[in-house]
């Protein structure tokens, strides 16, 4: 069972491009298909995983491993989902650092970097849209915009540490909402 | 134990501590983290040059898995090889691993308390801001001429209005890059593949008051 957990998440780890929410559906298919838990229980675990820091996919793996086999299961599932990306990043990084001077590698990164920038912008839009209700003009949305603008100012102009910004926003959230 | 070995162990220990500290602040995962990683590795430790953050995110984003964990692996590998990558990844994973357990115990109790929900809403807004900062920082080194601006704009539009898998965008980036550079060279235009190094040096000294 421990190895089964490891291999299922190893497989998911190999194809988890883009990370995060994209692969939740994939994990659900594997986990519910294997009869480890019901869809309802899975949804509750995902909600819990989203509340913790870190990648939601990795957190979900940890919680599923824990629910099946306790702490050893959690460790195995987490290692399984992390291992493929660790190996692939090491491979990419070694190739990149060795060929850094090559003009074709430079040209590829010239094209890749703006696309990654686009991905990050999309992530911001996607994440912002996830936090607002359907109606745009209400107190909740306005509060979110105020907090967001305040955070931008704090990080970019006053160089406040991102972690402090997150804590302050939690306090602001309690005050505003 | 010779001096070189001791220096190496010191680097590993530093990697572990830095990413252990970064771990708990990876709310929202991925791109929001870039801002914090950049601050620690570029501004404080000077492990990376400002321009290298774009490379880090590009490598981290093109591999499967979370961007934050992949970035940790990249920085660790760059500084101390494979052991460095493993150390950094363990460092960034460990706090979340513990927090996930704490949450699974307390989460059920606090889930329906309205003030916890309000705090999480505040955090959500902060995460959006951190992702915007990451886009700005990475964009500063990656968007510096018309073609890169068009590529970035198009990729946002494709992501917003189509269901195209991200992997094709990531695979398309290098192809587009090589095509644009080859075309520019063929037309006899100047084809810079990176923002000039001089700009980077200037940016360190000049505070970003113009934002």
In a domain, B197, yes or no: no
In angstroms, the Cα distances linking B103 to A62, A163, B69, B175 are 12, 19, 21, 44
Nearest by CB to residue B173, choosing from A111, A121, A156, is: A111
In a domain, B22, yes or no: yes
- Residues 6 or more apart whose Cβ sits within 8 Å of residue B182: A107
A141 interaction partners in chain B (CB closer than 8 Å): none
Task: Say yes or no to pLDDT of B57 above 80.
Answer: yes
Neighbours of B81 (CB within 10 A): 15
Distance from CA of A6 to the nearest CA of B (A): 16
B53 interaction partners in chain A (CB closer than 8 Å): none
How does pLDDT run across A117-150, given as a tens digit for each residue?
888 888 778 777 765 555 556 777 788 888 888 8
In a domain, B103, yes or no: yes
CA pair distance A91, B81, nearest whole angstrom: 11
Contact A171 B60 (CB under 8 A): no
Q: Where are the alpha helices (DSSP H) in B63-113?
A: 67-110
DSSP A4-57: HHHHHHHHHHHT-TT-GGGGHHHHHHHHHHTTSS-HHHHHHHHHHHHHSSS-HH
In a domain, B86, yes or no: yes
In a domain, B202, yes or no: no
How does pLDDT run across B13-29, given as a tens digit for each residue?
999 999 998 887 766 55
Q: What percent of chain A has pLDDT over 90?
A: 16
Which residue in chain A is spatially nearest to B150 when comparing CA positions? Answer: A114
Contact B125 A140 (CB under 8 A): no
Domain membership of residue B70 as a residue range: 1-113
Tell the residue number behind the tokens 């590829």, with chain if given: A108
In a domain, B53, yes or no: yes
In a domain, B65, yes or no: yes
Tell me if ipTM is over 0.85.
no
- Residues 6 or more apart whose Cβ sits within 8 Å of residue A103: B181, B193
How does pLDDT run across A57-102, given as a tens digit for each residue?
888 899 999 888 888 999 999 999 999 989 999 998 998 888 877 7
Task: Please check whether residue A141 touches B, CB under 8 A.
Answer: no
In a domain, B160, yes or no: no
* Mean pLDDT over the full length of chain B: 80
Cα torsion at B96, B102, B104, B105 (round to 10°)? 180
Cα Rg, chain A, nearest whole Å: 20
């Amino acid at each position: 069972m421990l190895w089964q957990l490891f291999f299922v998440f190893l497989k998911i780890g190999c194809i988890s491009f883009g990370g995060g929410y994209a692969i939740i559906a994939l994990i659900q298919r594997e986990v519910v298909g294997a009869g480890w838990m019901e869809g309802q229980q899975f949804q509750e675990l995902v909600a819990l995983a989203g509340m913790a820091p870190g990648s939601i996919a990795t957190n979900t793996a940890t919680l599923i491993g824990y629910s099946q086999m306790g702490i050893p299961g959690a460790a195995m599932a987490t290692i399984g989902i992390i291992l493929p990306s660790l190996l692939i990043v090491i491979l990419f990084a070694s190739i990149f650092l060795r060929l850094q001077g090559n003009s074709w590698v430079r040209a590829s990164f010239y094209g890749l970097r703006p696309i990654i920038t686009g991905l990050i912008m999309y992530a911001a839009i996607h994440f912002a849209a996830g936090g607002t209700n359907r109606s745009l003009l209400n107190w909740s949305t306005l509060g979110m915009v105020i907090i967001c603008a305040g955070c931008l100012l704090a990080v970019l102009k006053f160089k406040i540490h991102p972690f402090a910004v997150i804590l302050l926003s939690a306090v602001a959230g309690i005050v505003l909402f | 134990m010779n001096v070189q070995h001791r220096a190496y162990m010191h680097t590993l220990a530093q990697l572990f501590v830095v990413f252990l500290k970064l771990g708990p602040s990876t709310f929202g995962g991925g791109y929001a983290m870039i801002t914090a990683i950049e601050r620690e590795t570029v501004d404080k430790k000077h492990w990376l040059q400002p321009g290298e953050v774009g490379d880090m995110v590009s490598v981290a984003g093109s591999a499967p898995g979370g961007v934050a964990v992949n970035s940790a692996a990249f920085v660790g590998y760059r500084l101390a090889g494979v052991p460095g990558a493993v150390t950094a990844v363990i460092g960034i994973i460990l706090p979340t691993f513990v927090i996930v357990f704490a949450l699974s115990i307390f989460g059920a109790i606090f889930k329906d308390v309205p003030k916890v929900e309000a705090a999480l809403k505040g955090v959500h807004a902060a995460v959006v801001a951190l992702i915007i900062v990451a886009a700005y920082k990475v964009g500063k080194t990656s968007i510096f001429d018309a073609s890169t601006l068009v590529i970035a704009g198009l990729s946002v539009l494709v992501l917003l209005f189509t269901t195209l898998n991200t992997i094709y965008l990531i695979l398309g980036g290098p192809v587009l890059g090589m095509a644009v550079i080859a075309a520019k060279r063929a037309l006899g235009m100047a084809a810079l593949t990176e923002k000039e190094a001089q700009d980077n040096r200037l940016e360190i000294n000049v505070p970003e008051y113009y934002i």
